[in-house]
Amino acid sequence: MTTLNYINNGHGLASWLLTKDHKRIALLYLVSITAFFFLGGLFALMIRLELLTPAGDLMTAETYNKMFTMHGVVMVFFFLIPSIPAVLGNFLIPIMIGAKDLAFPRINLLSWYIYALGGLFTLFSALSGGVDTGWTFYTPYSTAAANSHVITAALGVFITGFSSILTGLNFIVTIHRMRAPGMTWFRLPLFVWSHYATSLIMILGTPVIAITVLLVAAERVLHMGIFDPALGGDPVLFQHMFWFYSHPAVYIMILPAMGVISEIVQAFARKNIFGYSFVAFSSLAIAIVGFFVWGHHIFVAGQSVYAGMIFSFLSFVVAIPSAIKVFNWTATIYRGSVSLDSPMLYAFGFIGLFTIGGLTGLFLAAMGLDIHVHDTYFIVAHFHYIMVGGAIMGYLGGMHYWWPKISGKLYSEGWAKLAAGMVFIGFNLTFFPQFLVGYLGMPRRYHMYPPEFQIFNVMSTAGATVLAAGYLLPMVYFTHSLFRGKPAPADPWGAKGLEWEIPSPPPTENFAISPIVTHGTHQYAPSKEVGVV
């Protein structure tokens, strides 16, 4: 006799595809983003295999260019941006604030359908021959010269943007209006704060990329002169518009991961966060300042030196709130009760890799140094430290932390630790050599390269295979746990938070009666011991 929960409450395809339950929608997203993750990973593997040797011998230049373009488009727009918000955020935000669902359950389902439609466009563009513009769609190549399926790919990005906008809108309204009695702003879990900041970027930034790719399509089809100088347009205008969204989009990817890390560090140190309000407000600071740094992508594109200086200054400023978070996480572990379960291993991995990724970002904000490293593998290494070492580590950490809640099953901790180790080692072996070869001058998006760069590329390719195995393992033991895993108790980690007070997996309505909140999350020690160092 099993109790009714959101998974067994309703059977059949229709009960999933027409669900309005935020938890089921989260699983719809989980399945689709996982598919896109492995598709994007397959493209990455092809890239790494080609780069094993300096000659372009595995595939043609045209195919290679399509590989890195599709890798970027799929990973950025169809995996990284939706990953944590649409899966973990969708599942957890209502539960964490003591609500029964998001504010607009139907819009939530609509978001997934829009995402799926955008994904189909992109898949169509991949299967019908691919795109070769780079995920950045730089003009006038994308509008005048590229001879590939730019329009369908651009429309895929355009469409999926609305899914992002609606999700952000849903989260903001939910966080404002649906909090349980006593769940004040400063009792909110930091995961919720980081999603609030993320949602602001989604709502304010995404329309700009939508307009931008639409203009690309318009110039390509109707020959409207917007970006192509031959038609009277300005190619650098595109770069401003593109990065006005796409730089903040990096924060769409990393802020939710930071929220996950804040939760994990507290749960596995059994200690409330050090400097709650600093961590919470640093998310907002990143979201706001992050809108004014886009020009650091254009230092060598003939931008005014003075504009460049302002963008450089603000890019340095935006590093400070990230640094504050890292210091606060570290201080949180001090005098904690630390257990090194797999989510905590991912969190440690995140802290280390994000620190390196963040600090190497400063190299690119320093104008004089950016001249040399711009568009080289140094940048490739830097942003993979943020997006893979940061965002994906956070995503995997979160998946391991909340998997027992989501699935109601326990996975094999030994395998999980092994996978975490492989991901960490494989990641560093893949991307650290790219800093070196980038400073040596190897440009990105190169199908062939001079032989002296080979050793670094061999290391990268070797690392990528370890990384790929590290990513496949969780697929195996998570799937295995669904069928053979032990049932998870409500709170397998001894963590604190509303999500751990309800059964695993949660019932459809989350809470039988609305909870009344009397304190913040992660209060482990009795309050009389509260002190200041």
Partner 1 sequence: MFTNFPLFPQQASAQAGQVDAIYFFMVAVTAFFSILIGGLVIFFAMRYRRRHRNEVGYAIHGSLALELLWTVIPFFIVMIMFGWGAKVFFDIYRPPTGAMEIYVVGKQWMWKVQHMDGQREINELHVPVGRPVKLIMGSEDVLHSYFIPAFRVKADVIPGRYNVLWFTASKPGVYHLFCAEYCGTKHSGMIGSVVAMEPADFQAWLAGGRADDSPVAAGEKLFQDLTCNTCHRSDTQGRGPMLAGVFGKQVELQNGSVVTADEAYIRESIVNPQAKIVAGFQPLMPTFQGLVSEEQLLQLISYVKSLSQQGAAPGSAPASPTMPQASGRPAVEKK
C-beta closer to partner 1: residue 72 or 205: 72
Q: How far is the CB of 99 from partner 1 (least distance, A)?
A: 27
Closest CB to partner 1 among 299 and 403?
299
Q: Which of residues 383-442 bind partner 1 (CB under 8 A)?
A: 436, 439-441
Cβ-defined contacts of 309-318 (< 8 Å, 24+): 309/367, 312/365, 312/366, 312/367, 314/289, 315/361, 315/364, 315/365, 316/362, 316/365, 317/289, 318/285, 318/286, 318/289, 318/290, 318/293
The minimum distance between CB 56 and partner 1, in angstroms, equals 7
Which residue in the set 20, 100, 417, 445 belongs to the binding site for partner 1 (CB under 8 A)? Answer: 445
What does the DSSP 8-state code read for residue 23?
H
For 281, the token pair is 């407000």
Given 17, 31, 221, 230, the residue binding partner 1 (CB under 8 A): 230
Site for partner 1 in 330-369 (CB under 8 A): 330-331, 333-340, 348, 351-352, 355-356, 359-360, 362-363, 365-369
Sign of CA dihedral 200, 201, 206, 208: positive
Binding mask 51-70 for partner 1 (x = CB under 8 A): -----x----xx--x-----
Least Cβ distance, residue 482 to partner 1 (angstroms): 27
Q: State in angstroms the smallest separation of the CB of 411 from partner 1.
A: 20
Rounded to a whole number of angstroms, the minimum distance from the CB of residue 188 to partner 1 is 16
Which is closer to partner 1, CB of 110 or CB of 369?
A: 369
Which residues, at least 6 apart from 235, have a Cβ–Cβ distance to it below 8 Å? 138, 139, 140, 227, 228, 229
* Segment interacting with partner 1 (CB under 8 A) among 30-38, 114-122, 276-284, 467-475: 276-284
- Residues 181-220, one symbol each (x = binds partner 1 by CB under 8 A, - = not), give ----------------------------------------
Q: Whose Cβ is closer to partner 1: residue 152's or residue 322's?
A: 322
Report how far residue 498's alpha carbon sits from residue 517's, in angstroms, rounded to the nearest whole number. Answer: 9
Name residues contacting partner 1, limited to 281-340 (CB under 8 A): 299-302, 305, 308-309, 312-313, 316-317, 319-320, 323-324, 326-328, 330-331, 333-340
How many residues bind partner 1, per CB under 8 A?
104
Q: Out of 95, 123, 146, 468, point to the residue binding partner 1 (CB under 8 A).
A: 146
Report the residue count for the chain.
533
Burial class (CB in 10 A: 0-12, 13-18, 19+), 181: exposed
Q: Is 214 exposed, middle or buried (0-12, 13-18, 19+ CB in 10 A)?
A: middle
224: contact with partner 1 by CB under 8 A: no
Q: Which residues 455-494 are close enough to bind partner 1 by CB under 8 A?
A: 455, 494
Residues 306/307/312/313 CA torsion (nearest 10 deg): 70
Please check whether residue 330 is in contact with residue 347, taking contact to mean a CB–CB distance below 8 angstroms.
no
When the beta carbons of 236 and 288 are compared against partner 1, the nearer one is 236
User: Residues 71, 187, 405, 447: which binds partner 1 (CB under 8 A)?
Assistant: 447
533 interacts with partner 1 by CB under 8 A: yes
Most distant CA pair in the chain, distance = 72
Helix runs in 270-318, H state only: 276-289, 305-317
When the beta carbons of 454 and 465 are compared against partner 1, the nearer one is 454
DSSP annotation of 6:
T
- CB closer to partner 1, 17 vs 371: 371
Residues 366-385 that bind partner 1 (CB under 8 A): 366-372, 374-376
Surface-to-core class of residue 38, CB atoms within 10 Å of its CB (0-12 exposed, 13-18 middle, 19+ buried):
middle
Cα-based distances in Å from 220 to 118, 135, 235, 236: 20, 17, 13, 17
CB 264 within 8 A of CB 397: yes
Closer by beta carbon to partner 1, 221 or else 323:
323
